[in-house]
Structure 1
């Protein structure tokens, strides 16, 4: 065995200051504990008496140190010295690994990979070029409602609605553009994230953002909320679940999307919002089985010029709205979304549309596309 540490051990300069400070304190404490102490008066008297007896031949040789024990102690001393030399870098290396396990080759504790897998995605500023990659096939639970979903890395709720920087658009001032963006965000939150709206109540906060002077819009929405049908269904604008059938699985709705602005057709600013919302839910009958419904909405609104047009100041005019819903029963128009659970056999009508990935935000929404099958929830 060699006293020389191996070349691949960390050098002193590579250790953090706090590790060396702790090591220095421990070393000073050990030195104080092992330092020679002044013998007591009684011990000195006994030692002197034994020395005189030895001079008179009254004490056998070796009373000070037994020859066999001396050899054993010498070997033990050498071992202690050797371990003291080797123990310094080893102790520091152990301390470093405890502070940062990823220093070990290959990161055997998998400290980096789970953090990377769960790290939030950057804000979406442009249309993706492909759908999200495949996720591990995990079953969602009450503790982990987004397990196995790409939405695990999406932002929570309204934190996922990040406004772009407001800039002058044509003759529209920066302040007016900012107002249009904030109103659009308010509408998205009230229509898709507000707990009252999601549990099936009347979405008053969302309706208050819309211009009552826009012909037909509020009348149609009120008809849909009052008497839903295939022609007037409120889920085309609002995300709603029947509270007698469905309960939220937790307080988090995942959100991802973006907004863009352009010059409006009524001397104002037009905003396009393209967002996907992921709702983890369970049945209201006491079951703890969790599933998810995914709703993508593309909304075109305008904040028109109230000086030149008959509009209500501070209200949005809706130019167009489209939706794409994943995991909701087809051809049911009672004003609610109806998630399907894997364990239930009484599913609704068979879907007639194509198979789609509800998390794919790289494609546009096909207007009028029949209800299809989703590849994942």
Structure 2
């Protein structure tokens, strides 16, 4: 079909019932439907009105319905075939090109996709810790969360101590570990009030610890007792600290009840207020301690509800070797250098098969992983 003059765009069609049935199976474009609506509202004047004369009673109604369908569907079909001629036939025809008329869409070649392609996001190493997955790539994924990792053995009576006394001693050690390693306020530099309140008032080193925790002259030995981060430099990521370890009990050579605890705490940290894409790292603190419940005529009895620490060791992985000030000082992968000397021996902070090395306190080792 051409676009010229007043040519009837329907001149080449035979509007029989087969054509109508075929046309009703397709729906025209939005432009065609608009033109069909205009046709229904303002149809062109026919040469001889088809309403003239009395309407026969037999089957006339169905014929009228068929004719109306033919008019609407034919216009849709014809417009889809030659939009330019139909535009001119309905009026408003002009020489405007498809490029100038936003209602005329150019012919589409090939298939169109429903969603435009989007460049893929930069791949992230699945073993790299993030705020959403702070334990990625770490054995700590299999550790228990928070206090659930501090499992206790069944309490049974031992010589000189009832099952109830053993149970109380185990529970006190668990509370001590929570207060010194999981209490959120204390972890972020607050006073470890609950921890201090559990210690026997006569505990060796208690006064020195209290002084270190309540003044600005931070004693490097404070981390031997409690885990603390500097809130001005790091924040904990998420609400979970991963915990793995064991608690046991026995009587020592003097017949005193001793509780032994050996636990690793894995802390995910990031710089404060650093956003969802922040660099995340972890620090691992392994604590080994023995507590003794003294009783009998040879010793001053341990007060009820208190703990006496007879021995403790700590191993802190991923903390600056150059800043020994009573805080755990994590180092991040995106910062320049590191405090571990070049060529330093490396250790695996998740290897719990070996005891803590106490022969070289303060020795700075590299890490196989964190």
Q: TM-score range by the shorter chain?
A: 0.5 to 0.7
Residues 330 and 351, structure 1, Cα contact 8 Å, conserved in 2 = no
SS of 1:336's equivalent in the other structure is coil
Number of aligned residue pairs: give it. Answer: 241
Instruction: State the 1:229 CA deviation.
Output: 7.1
**2:366 counterpart of 1:376:** no
Instruction: State the 1:183 CA deviation.
Output: 0.2
In structure 2, the residue matched to 1:335 is: 326
Of the candidates 130, 139, 143, which is equivalent to residue 128 of structure 2? 139
Distance (whole Å) between structure 1 residues aligned to residue 329 and residue 290 of structure 2? 26
Q: Larger deviation: 164-173 or 221-230?
A: 221-230
Distance (whole Å) between structure 1 residues aligned to residue 316 and residue 359 of structure 2? 12
Distance (whole Å) between structure 2 residues aligned to residue 266 and residue 258 of structure 1? 24
Correspondence list, 1:319-330, <5 A:
319-330=310-321
- Cα distance change, pair 241–368 in 1 and its aligned pair in 2 (3 A): farther
Distance (whole Å) between structure 1 residues aligned to residue 185 and residue 270 of structure 2? 17
- Cα distance change, pair 231–142 in 1 and its aligned pair in 2 (3 A): closer
Distance (whole Å) between structure 1 residues aligned to residue 255 and residue 152 of structure 2? 22
Instruction: State the 1:306 CA deviation.
Output: 6.8
Instruction: State the 1:193 CA deviation.
Output: 0.4
Instruction: State the 1:305 CA deviation.
Output: 1.6
Of the candidates 175, 178, 193, which is equivalent to residue 189 of structure 1? 178
Instruction: State the 1:180 CA deviation.
Output: 0.5
User: Between Structure 1 and Structure 2, whose CA radius of gyration is higher?
Assistant: 2
**2:193 counterpart of 1:204:** yes
- Cα distance change, pair 315–352 in 1 and its aligned pair in 2 (3 A): farther
Unaligned runs of 5+ in 1: 1-135
- Cα distance change, pair 211–229 in 1 and its aligned pair in 2 (3 A): same
Of the candidates 165, 170, 186, which is equivalent to residue 154 of structure 2? 165
TM-score after normalising by structure 2: 0.61
In structure 1, the residue matched to 2:234 is: 246
SS of 1:255's equivalent in the other structure is strand
Instruction: State the 1:265 CA deviation.
Output: 5.8
Residues 213 and 312, structure 1, Cα contact 8 Å, conserved in 2 = no
Residues 241 and 268, structure 2, Cα contact 8 Å, conserved in 1 = yes
- Cα distance change, pair 233–198 in 1 and its aligned pair in 2 (3 A): same
Of the candidates 228, 245, 250, which is equivalent to residue 262 of structure 1? 250
Distance (whole Å) between structure 1 residues aligned to residue 131 and residue 288 of structure 2? 30
Residues 144 and 243, structure 2, Cα contact 8 Å, conserved in 1 = yes
SS of 1:225's equivalent in the other structure is helix
SS of 2:270's equivalent in the other structure is strand
- Cα distance change, pair 230–249 in 1 and its aligned pair in 2 (3 A): closer
Q: Deviations over 1:79-114 (max 9, x none)?
A: xxxxxxxxxxxxxxxxxxxxxxxxxxxxxxxxxxxx
Residues 157 and 166, structure 2, Cα contact 8 Å, conserved in 1 = yes
Distance (whole Å) between structure 2 residues aligned to residue 195 and residue 231 of structure 1? 21
- Cα distance change, pair 186–320 in 1 and its aligned pair in 2 (3 A): same
Distance (whole Å) between structure 1 residues aligned to residue 366 and residue 236 of structure 2? 23
Unaligned runs of 5+ in 2: 1-124
Instruction: State the 1:217 CA deviation.
Output: 2.4
- Cα distance change, pair 348–232 in 1 and its aligned pair in 2 (3 A): closer
Distance (whole Å) between structure 1 residues aligned to residue 147 and residue 358 of structure 2? 26
Distance (whole Å) between structure 2 residues aligned to residue 284 and residue 314 of structure 1? 37
Correspondence list, 1:264-283, <5 A:
264=252, 267-283=255-271
- Cα distance change, pair 312–157 in 1 and its aligned pair in 2 (3 A): same
Instruction: State the 1:309 CA deviation.
Output: 3.0
- Cα distance change, pair 138–206 in 1 and its aligned pair in 2 (3 A): same
Distance (whole Å) between structure 1 residues aligned to residue 290 and residue 127 of structure 2? 36
TM-score after normalising by structure 1: 0.60
Residues 353 and 372, structure 1, Cα contact 8 Å, conserved in 2 = yes
Distance (whole Å) between structure 2 residues aligned to residue 247 and residue 205 of structure 1? 21
Q: CA RMSD in A?
A: 2.2
Q: Deviations over 1:45-74 (max 9, x none)?
A: xxxxxxxxxxxxxxxxxxxxxxxxxxxxxx
Instruction: State the 1:269 CA deviation.
Output: 1.1
Of the candidates 291, 296, 303, which is equivalent to residue 301 of structure 1? 291
In structure 1, the residue matched to 2:144 is: 155
Q: Deviations over 1:297-347 (max 9, x none)?
A: 001111212775323222111111101111111142221111111111153
